[in-house]
Structure 1
Amino acid sequence: MVNVIKHARPPGGIVRTSSRMLADRLIAEIDAVLNRQVNAILHHPDFQAMEARWLGLDLLVREAGRSAEVKIKLISASWKELARSMERATDFDQSHLFELVYNREFGMPGGEPFGLLVGDYDLSPATIDGSDTVSTLARLSTVAAAAFCPFIAGASPQAIGLETFRELNRVSDFSWLQQDKMRLRWNSLRGNDDTRFLGLVAPRVLMRPPHKPFWRKRNDGFPFREHLSESGETLLWGNSAFAFAAIILRTFIDSGWFADMRGVTQDEIDGGMLAPWQLPGLDIGVESEGLSAQPPVEVKLTRSQELQLSDLGIVPVATTYLSSSAIFNANQSLHAPGHYSSETARQNARLAAMLQYVLCASRFSHYLKVIMRDNIGQLSTANVIQRRLEDWLSGYTLGNDDADVSLRSRYPLRSAGIHVTEIPGKPGAFSCTVRLQPHFQLDDISTSFHLVAETSGAAAMGATAGQTEPKRIVA
């Protein structure tokens, strides 16, 4: 700024220009300096990360604002801090995260179970800040499974063996990742049943379009033009886990359920499609504003690439034909389904590893916990408990496949069953298995879930009663 003013005064002997022209030139040069300074700030990696994070949070808050039933709580913790906390704990249930998510909410009478954890991290098998990512994810998955609260975050290109997602067009076969010795622990992690509660989303999404150049509606009148590099790296890319979480919130607010959160209905904004007011497209600029808008995604995936990413345990952010909206057509968890001789069994295992169905089963598990918690200390037998839970489940079950969408939303289960038995050698303790089959089946194979739990009830007056402890989901 000082340099501009110093050279603004014309040298001696030269006819002075008018004061108006001099002032205009000074203002133009000052604006140019300010443009360079503001661009340097906006495009600094640290500032971009902060802006993208807050815009991602804003996306969730705006969506959650439509319902009083949704609450958002924030935890400020870097991946290094989170990993250190998990590593220092003697077991997963001794970690600080378990204390926050399980002990203080899910396991506490009167507590409100968390339904989803969203982490603004880009994860892969590689170490981050010296922390063991695979080990941390393994413990995170155990905490998420215990609390029936899926954890979603972003996936870096290294998660599928690439440097950038733009390299997808040069790679057609990812089978080598299964034999890569550097990924043995990662592949082993994916075989763990608890990783059904982990979701990694990619590629990145555009958190905001570039600022309009020389926009006359600015209150300050500053003629700012945001610098855009040819590679697109100066655009504000952010974690796509926020976009996926926004879809989950919208689905829950609209229906109270999670099954209908993939794909889209023709001429509608529903399912897995993000609305333009959630994530606006990138307008590359033609005569008619919006005519050239591109989807807010880092890479436009083909259908084949979507399937490849899903097979690798990544939730792909896709696009639709002749649309500037992003969409989720699949939501596979990090879990790699087991190998079965039957094609039906293989497809069922794949569906059971989808996050939308894990969310559905988790929702019922939360209610199961609360119902059984209210029965602590009462005189009960296995048959009495079973009848109570059967009556409860019947209120959410509708066997009519021809029912309309609104009716299926009110009765989200096509079928349900429950079996309660006494645990030998543990007076007053019961084993509970719940089978749930959701209505919204967008695939050719029909799947169901089994919740296995152990519960204690007072077998005799004065007996000590425990709490319901859902153990696992079995497809």
Structure 2
Amino acid sequence: MQAPRIPYTILALAPLAGQLERAWKEAPVVLDRQEPARALATLRPSLYISLPRDLCPAGGLQLTFQRLRDFTPDGLLESQPYLADLAAAGRFLATARRQGMPATEIADGLRRWPDLPPLEPQPPLGQENRPAAPQDADNDTLDRILSMVASGPGDRVAATPGPAGPSFDRILDEILARIFRDPEFRQMEASWQGVRLLAGQGGLNENVHLQLVPATRDTLEETLAGLSSDLDRPLPSLLLVDCPFDSSARSLHLLDALARCGHALLVPALAWIIPPFFLIDSWQEMDRLPFLPHYLATQEFAKWRRLQESEAGRWLGLACNRLLCRFPWGADNRPRRVNLEEKEPPWVAPVWAAACLAGQAMAATGWPTALTDWHRHRITDLGLNMAGTPPLPVEILFSDSRMDQLRRCGIMALATARGRDFVCLGGEPMISADTTFSYQALLSRFTQ
């Protein structure tokens, strides 16, 4: 069958700009596949990180991102002035120690960075009340200042034994650790990693496009209402929502709004769920659940079943099992200029992977179908969770039996193979379970 030359537009609603006071009212930002970072520069996402005043006298940092690199530790040092000043001061103290610079010159040099926290060394134990001899005062001051200069990657120099206290390098390491475990930062970075994934492996070309709309869980309902009522703009071909959902009343209400939006536009919509959807804390607890179709037939999931059985449910697909687009920062992926050990893997929502596979199919055949054909449509060159056994690019390796049960329940799941760095789609049911993404996508193409 001849594929129609109708543009295939993926419209992604995601927390791409941080917290929003109100729903996004402007036109979607069109991603340039040649320069995907231009969309980031257009949106200029920002967020505020609260910090103790001994780390940052201002009490926090307002971070702004204009490049994808700005989400990396080294990129943050280049783009955020306070962090750049900390790094520069650390290098200055390291150089001062190597050159034997007098303490007075060090003090003068540090005045170039007046906004940094003061380093206030304590005298060694047992010498708190002993005044320094005049001839030793200058050297003692220098030793106490430089004893706080930590070592690390690059040009950091080891601290000499002496009084405990912070150094600029250790302050920088602690701030970066707090940034990379901040939930809002992690969510924003994950969404932009998803954009990067689609730009690189989503088949974007002159006929397959990606548009971005900033949205959060709090603004999603209003954003969807605006999409349904705005008839002046061209219709998307696929709706993607990057917000985690469980089986709570609030989540089901938003999923119902998304399904109704897809139904009104006759466009498939994709969202994703987390383990609490099944009333568990992690995917590893799936083993204690009974046969999933029977489990979801219990009274606790009555509202979910009503959504499944609705006419709008045919237009909603739910995915699970997040993926890694990069290795966590740490022993296997060290930043060049700082010490950073991420405690949690930087997971990316599975909806980005599903949309990638739809884009690949469109680019290859002109139809967004056969997403489960992993020989032709899969995502490669992913990070691995080295804490897992075996290391995986996804949260969990579902058994064939569980994968089949998820399909019967109307839930898509990402799949992989042991020891491999690729993912594919283990099934493509919509939540009604009696139809598939491919069928609804074809129906949408014929109606547009």
Is TM-score (shorter-chain normalized) higher than 0.5?
Answer: yes
The one-letter amino acid paired with 2:247 is P
d(CA) in 2 for partners of 1:81, 1:217? 35
**2:198–2:204 Cα contact (<8 Å) kept:** no
Q: Distance in 2 between matches of 1:293 and 1:212?
A: 18
Summarize the Cα distance change of 1:36–1:313 in structure 2 as closer, same or farther, 3 Å threshold. Answer: same
After TM superposition, the structure 1 stretch with the greater mean CA deviation from structure 2, 206-215 or 48-57, is: 206-215
Residue 247 of structure 2 contacts residue 278 of structure 2 at CA under 8 Å; is this kept in 1?
no
Matches within 5 A, 1:13-412: 23=146, 26-28=149-151, 29-63=167-201, 66-83=204-221, 95-100=225-230, 103-105=231-233, 112-128=234-250, 133-213=251-331, 218=336, 222-228=337-343, 234-265=344-375, 270-271=376-377, 273-276=378-381, 279-283=382-386, 294-337=391-434, 353-366=435-448
CA contact (8 A) 1:263 1:329 kept: no
Separation in 1, partners of 2:335, 2:183:
28
Measured against aligned partners, the alpha-carbon deviations of 1:324-375 in whole angstroms (never above 9, x if no partner) come to 32221211111133xxxxxxxxxxxxxxx11122212322222xxxxxxxxx
Whole-angstrom distance in 1 between the partners of 2:391 and 2:195: 23
Query: Which amino acid letter does the alignment assign opposite residue 296 of structure 1?
Result: P
| Greater RCO structure (CA 8 Å; 6+ sep) | 2
The CA deviation string for residues 432-455 of structure 1, in whole angstroms up to 9 with x for no partner, is xxxxxxxxxxxxxxxxxxxxxxxx
With structure 2 as the length reference, what TM-score do the two structures score? Answer: 0.61
Counterpart amino acid of residue 319 in structure 1:
T
C-alpha displacement of 1:4: 8.2
| Number of residue-to-residue matches in the alignment | 310
* TM-score, structure 1 as length reference: 0.58
Give the letter for the 1:362 counterpart: S
Tell me how far 1:199 sits from its aligned partner: 0.8
> Are the equivalent residues in 2 in contact too, given 1:8–1:26 (CA < 8 A)?
no
**Contact 2:358–2:369 (Cα < 8 Å) also in 1:** no
The residue type paired with residue 413 of structure 2 is: P
The two structures, once aligned, show a CA RMSD in angstroms of 3.3
Q: Which amino acid aligns with 1:274?
A: I
Structure 2 counterpart of 1:121, which letter? C
By how many angstroms is 1:116 displaced?
Answer: 0.3
Once the two structures are overlaid, the 10-residue window that deviates more, 133-142 or 192-201, is 133-142
1:13-38 per-residue CA deviation (whole Å, 9 max, x = no partner) reads: 69869979974751334323322221
Aligned to 2:119: 5
CA distance in 2, matches of 1:202, 1:158: 12
Partner letter of residue 169 of structure 1?
D
User: Does the 8 A contact of 2:393 with 2:422 survive in 1?
Assistant: yes
Per-residue CA deviations over 1:77-136 (Å, capped at 9, x if unaligned) read: 3333333577xxxxxxxx422123xx224xxxxxx43110000111233133xxxx4344
Deviations 1:294-348 (A, max 9, x none): 22211221111111222222111111144232221211111133xxxxxxxxxxx
Does structure 1 conserve the Cα–Cα contact (< 8 Å) formed by 2:391 and 2:419? no
- After superposition, the Cα gap between the structure-2 partners of 1:47 and 1:53, relative to the gap in structure 1 and judged at 3 Å, is same
Change (3 A) 1:13 1:24: closer
CA separation in 2, counterparts of 1:144 and 1:299? 29
Shift of 1:252: 1.0
In 1: Cα distance, 2:195 partner to 2:425 partner: 19
Partners of 2:329 and 2:340 within 8 A in 1: yes
Q: Secondary structure at the match of 1:31?
A: helix
Structure 1 residues without counterparts, runs of 5 or longer: 87-94, 106-111, 229-233, 286-291, 338-352, 367-475
Q: Is the 8 A contact 1:258 1:357 kept in 2?
A: no
User: Residues 284 and 177 from structure 1, CA distance in 2 versus in 1: closer, same or farther, beyond 3 angstroms?
Assistant: closer
* Deviation of 1:256 (Å): 1.2
The CA distance in 1 between the partners of 2:324 and 2:441, in whole Å, is 26
Deviation at 1:48, TM superposition (A): 0.9
Deviation, structure 1 residue 202: 0.4
Encode CA deviations 1:422-469: one digit per residue, 9 max, x unaligned. Answer: xxxxxxxxxxxxxxxxxxxxxxxxxxxxxxxxxxxxxxxxxxxxxxxx
Instruction: Give the unaligned 5+ runs of structure 2.
Output: 1-54, 56-115, 152-166
The 3 A distance-change label for structure 1 pair 33 and 255 is: same
Shift of 1:207: 3.9
Is the 1:199–1:355 contact (alpha carbons within 8 Å) kept by the matching residues of 2?
yes
> 1:322, 1:251 → 2: CA distance?
25
